[in-house]
């Protein structure tokens, strides 16, 4: 059984748990380092990155999670989650708080405007047949990407969904709007990663089959 952890310090973690649950995978809320044991992937939700880094400050959670990501644990950060993963921020608004890093991008927080300027836009996502409605809420903008970073979707010429190997990040909220295709896509790629991590090809094939059926 594929088991996905969702960082549950703050923000839209319940919505991710619901979407992942609808895809037939086991889920676990992650609030402490010990919750990282035996996970096949982690999702970092949107919310408020300043709150997340403060809550995690002084604990072993982010250092341990970064270590697991470096070892190959697949991760998908959305909105505030993308901010946690970005190697570089355009300002130092998160001060001396530890983040995760791991994704070779530069991000500007809140660059799509205030809460009342939130919007939904149809996105052409690499690997999806039909467009995906991305919801942007005080979203971070990806200003720059490293050469190993693949752009999976753009909006107005700017990347909004990127992937660097097993590290995925999106500026928008894929868990809002009732469309599970992006999570399914992440889980689909995970098939190979699960195989690499656990050396258990039957579990991986089983997960892939389940995802196909429920799509």
Catalytic option among 16, 35, 166, 173: 173
> Is 79 noted as a catalytic residue in this protein?
yes
Catalytic option among 15, 16, 155, 175: 175
Shortest distance in whole angstroms from residue 189 CB to ligand GLN: 23
Shortest distance in whole angstroms from residue 56 CB to ligand GLN: 13
Shortest distance in whole angstroms from residue 79 CB to ligand GLN: 3
Question: 65 or 83: whose CB is closer to ligand GLN?
Answer: 83
Catalytic option among 15, 16, 35, 79: 79
Q: Which of 213, 161, 199, 163 is nearest to 24 (CA)?
A: 213
> Is 173 noted as a catalytic residue in this protein?
yes
Q: List contacts with ligand GLN (CB under 6 A).
A: 46-49, 79-80, 83, 109-110, 137-139
> Is 88 noted as a catalytic residue in this protein?
no
Helix pair 201-214, 181-198: axis angle to 10 deg:
170
Both structure tokens of 145: 């990407």
150 neighbors 189 (Cβ within 8 angstroms) = no
Tabulate helix, strand, coil % of the chain (nearest 5): 35, 30, 40
Q: Distance of alpha carbon 103 from its chain centroid, rounded?
A: 11
Catalytic residues, which ones?
79, 173, 175
């Amino acid at each position: 059984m594929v088991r996905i952890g969702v960082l549950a310090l703050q923000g839209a973690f319940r919505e991710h748990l619901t979407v992942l649950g609808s895809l037939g995978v086991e889920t676990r809320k992650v609030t402490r380092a010990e919750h990282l044991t035996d996970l096949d992937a982690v999702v970092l939700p949107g919310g408020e990155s300043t709150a997340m880094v403060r809550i995690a400050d002084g604990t072993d959670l982010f250092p341990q999670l970064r270590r697991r990501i470096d070892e190959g644990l697949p991760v998908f950060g959305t909105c505030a989650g993308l901010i946690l993963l970005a190697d570089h921020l355009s300002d130092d608004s998160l001060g001396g708080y530890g983040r995760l890093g791991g994704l070779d991008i530069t991000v500007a927080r809140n660059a799509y405007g205030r809460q009342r300027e939130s919007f939904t836009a149809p996105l052409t996502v690499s690997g999806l047949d039909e467009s995906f409605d991305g919801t942007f809420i005080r979203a971070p903008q990806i200003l720059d990407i490293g050469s190993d970073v693949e752009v999976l979707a753009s909006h107005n010429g700017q990347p909004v969904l990127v992937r660097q190997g097993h590290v995925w990040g999106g500026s928008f909220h894929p868990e809002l709007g009732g469309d599970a295709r992006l999570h399914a896509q992440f889980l689909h790629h995970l098939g190979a990663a699960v195989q690499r991590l656990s050396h258990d090809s039957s579990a991986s094939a089983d997960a892939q089959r389940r995802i196909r059926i429920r799509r």
